[in-house]
């Protein structure tokens, strides 16, 4: 029987977890406040786990949602489920390898003949690294293990010779990474497709494009994500319907492959980071949880009761659950400390008094900020996210931009995210990759 007034608890402390919490709170099927099991920060994994288990035992939630990747990779879901019998939205440690080990994921796709891998090889030592990098020409080096999206280095962007590449592999292998993946450097546009998954059924969310580079014009170091947008038609301006289908088919096939490979059901969010290239859609990486910032876009649009979706994931009935999103556009912009990501200022005060109040068209999420006596202080990472929601991108962009640019303090943000100029740039990039006929279809579909 459908239970009313469920108790939920969350793990994590960031804008994404805050968005999850607010989405739960909108449901009249949930008891508030939502339980907080752990920030999962500044604690050793062992101590953090013990604290989570103790708190969960006290709170006795009906289910737990895990926000960030570290607790998943540490096996928090296994412990909560096995020791306390509480179901979780988030995969077990074995399944979370999908994010925690790029070698695992590349091999999974190869073994199960799932389309989407670039040319790649996994190395456990330096033997053959130099030859493979030379053979590929353009190459990308990825450490096996979690790196907060910052460990990937690309030839001609971060590595300027084959020797640079070999040295980077050496550094990674001698600093605790069990392996490195070297793969073909792809050219194309990136996008994120997040799907709810109950182990068997896979239901896609709205497509989002994140912006990983720190500075305007997609230059500078990689970050956790400076901002993101989604469109009112739930696709993206540089994608053809067949590209969306290809990405969706990969998520579905991966859910099946995980079940076949491990005998376990993946219950949570399958987040595919894809690139549309000349040759079709390629998988860059998987994340085993909601994206940050992508969650801020998609959950702002979710019309279906989120608690119904969580329940369907747990019960394995996602196939019978309708999942609807509003037909609106969203633009998310993060303000980050000056110097982010390499050398961010910390402890400085920021002033949000000039920012418009939250409304149906503006959502504000706190991330790496400390609140002391009503004032906000930077703690060194992405600080505050502003999400504009509107009938089209231009509207959503102006709402987010007005809010982000009103913050005073030693911070910056990417003014170009969601602007017509940057979108046109993405479309022009696709023109250089797609056949003429496909490009004409792209223009017909969107504008
Ligand atoms: P990942 O953590 O695997 O998503 O990689 C981080 C970033 O590196 C991605 O968002 C891309 O911008 C870039 N990247 C990853 N893999 C490739 C690839 N094979 N070719 C070109 N760029 C890549
Ligand atoms: N948007 C990048 C991430 O969530 O890892």
Each domain of the chain, given as residue ranges in start order, spans 8-97, 119-184
Closest ligand 1 atom, residue 282 Cα: 19
Output the pLDDT for position 364: 98
Q: 369-404, pLDDT tens digit by residue? A: 999 999 999 999 999 999 999 999 999 999 999 999
Indicate the pLDDT class of residue 4, thresholds 50, 70 and 90: confident
Determine the Cα–Cα distance for residues 411 and 405; give it in Å rounded to an integer.
Answer: 10
Determine the Cα–Cα distance for residues 55 and 209; give it in Å rounded to an integer.
Answer: 36
Are 335 and 384 contacting, i.e. CB atoms less than 8 angstroms apart? yes
Distance between Cα 293 and ligand 2 center (Å): 6
CA dihedral (90, 229, 435, 153) positive or negative: negative
Q: 411-437, pLDDT tens digit by residue? A: 999 999 999 999 999 999 999 999 999
Look at residue 3 and tell me whether its pLDDT is greater than 80.
no
Closest ligand 1 atom, residue 151 Cα: 2
Give Cα separations from 165 to 103, 179, 284, 435 (angstroms): 18, 14, 19, 33
Look at residue 446 and tell me whether its pLDDT is greater than 80.
no
Distance between Cα 62 and ligand 1 center (Å): 37
Indicate the pLDDT class of residue 447, thresholds 50, 70 and 90: low
Q: 353-364, pLDDT tens digit by residue? A: 999 999 999 999
Residues in the chain: 447
Look at residue 1 and tell me whether its pLDDT is greater than 60.
no
Out of 39-53, 108-122, 343-357, pick the least confident: 39-53
Determine the CATH number of domain 8-97: 3.40.50.20
Output the pLDDT for position 2: 65
Indicate the pLDDT class of residue 314, thresholds 50, 70 and 90: very high
Output the pLDDT for position 370: 95
Look at residue 202 and tell me whether its pLDDT is greater than 60.
yes
Ligand minimally distant from the alpha carbon of residue 289: 2
Superfamily of domain 119-184 in the CATH hierarchy: ATP-grasp fold, A domain (3.30.1490.20)
Closest ligand 1 atom, residue 184 Cα: 19
Ligand minimally distant from the alpha carbon of residue 297: 2
Name the closest-CA residue to atom 16, ligand 1: 284
Determine the Cα–Cα distance for residues 305 and 253; give it in Å rounded to an integer.
Answer: 27
Look at residue 150 and tell me whether its pLDDT is greater than 90.
no
Average pLDDT of the residues in 91-102: 97
Are 76 and 151 contacting, i.e. CB atoms less than 8 angstroms apart? no
Give the residues across from 334 on adjacent strands. Answer: 385
Look at residue 5 and tell me whether its pLDDT is greater than 50.
yes
Distance between Cα 302 and ligand 2 center (Å): 19
Pocket of ligand 2 (CB under 6 A): 149, 210, 225, 287, 291-292, 294
Look at residue 42 and tell me whether its pLDDT is greater than 90.
no
Ligand minimally distant from the alpha carbon of residue 194: 2
Name the closest-CA residue to atom 5, ligand 2: 291
pTM attached to this predicted model: 0.96
Give Cα separations from 39 to 50, 68, 141, 333, 362 (angstroms): 13, 10, 31, 23, 25
Work out the number of other CB atoms within 10 angstroms of the CB of residue 206: 27
- Return all residues near 194 (Cβ < 8 A) that are at least 6 apart: 204, 205, 208, 269, 270, 271, 272, 290, 291, 294, 295, 298
Indicate the pLDDT class of residue 44, thresholds 50, 70 and 90: confident
């Amino acid at each position: 029987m459908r239970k009313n007034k469920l108790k939920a608890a969350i793990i994590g402390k960031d804008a994404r977890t805050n968005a999850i919490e607010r989405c739960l709170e909108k449901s009249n099927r949930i008891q508030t406040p939502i339980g907080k099991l752990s920030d999962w920060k500044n604690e050793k994994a062992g101590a953090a786990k013990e604290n989570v288990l103790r708190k969960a035992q006290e709170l006795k939630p009906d289910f737990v949602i895990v926000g960030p990747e570290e607790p998943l990779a540490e096996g928090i879901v296994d412990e909560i489920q096995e020791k306390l019998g509480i179901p979780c939205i988030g995969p077990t440690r074995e399944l979370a390898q999908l994010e925690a080990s790029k070698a695992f994921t590349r091999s999974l796709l190869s073994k199960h003949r799932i389309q989407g891998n670039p040319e790649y090889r996994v190395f456990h030592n330096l033997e053959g690294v130099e030859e493979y990098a030379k053979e590929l020409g353009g190459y990308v080096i990825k450490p096996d293990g979690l790196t907060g999206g910052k460990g990937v280095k690309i030839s001609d962007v971060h590595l300027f010779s084959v020797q640079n590449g070999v040295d980077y592999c050496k550094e990674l292998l001698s600093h605790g990474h069990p392996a490195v993946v070297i793969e073909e450097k792809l050219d194309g546009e990136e996008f994120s497709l997040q799907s709810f998954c109950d182990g068997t059924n896979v239901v896609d969310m709205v497509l989002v494009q994140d912006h990983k580079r720190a500075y305007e014009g997609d230059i500078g170091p990689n970050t956790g994500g400076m901002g993101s947008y989604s469109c009112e038609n739930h696709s993206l301006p540089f994608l053809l319907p067949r590209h969306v289908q290809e990405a969706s088919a990969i998520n579905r096939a991966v859910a099946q492959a995980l079940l076949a490979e491990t005998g376990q059901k993946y219950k949570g969010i399958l987040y595919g980071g894809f690139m549309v290239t000349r040759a079709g859609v390629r998988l860059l990486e998987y994340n085993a949880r909601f994206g940050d910032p992508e969650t801020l876009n998609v959950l702002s649009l979710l019309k279906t009761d989120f608690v119904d979706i969580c329940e369907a994931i747990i019960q394995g009935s996602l196939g019978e659950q309708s999942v609807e999103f509003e037909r609106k556009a969203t633009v998310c912009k993060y303000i980050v400390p000056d110097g982010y990501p390499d050398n961010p200022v910390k402890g400085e005060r920021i002033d949000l008094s000039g920012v418009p109040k939250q409304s149906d068209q503006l959502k504000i999420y706190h991330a790496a900020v400390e609140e002391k006596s009503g004032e906000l202080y930077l703690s060194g990472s992405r600080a505050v996210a502003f999400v504009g929601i509107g009938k089209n991108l231009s509207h959503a962009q102006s709402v987010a931009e007005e809010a982000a640019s009103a913050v005073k303090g030693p911070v910056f943000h990417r003014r170009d995210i969601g602007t017509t100029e940057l979108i046109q740039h993405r479309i022009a990039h696709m023109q250089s990759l797609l056949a003429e006929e496909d490009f004409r279809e792209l223009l017909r579909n969107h504008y």
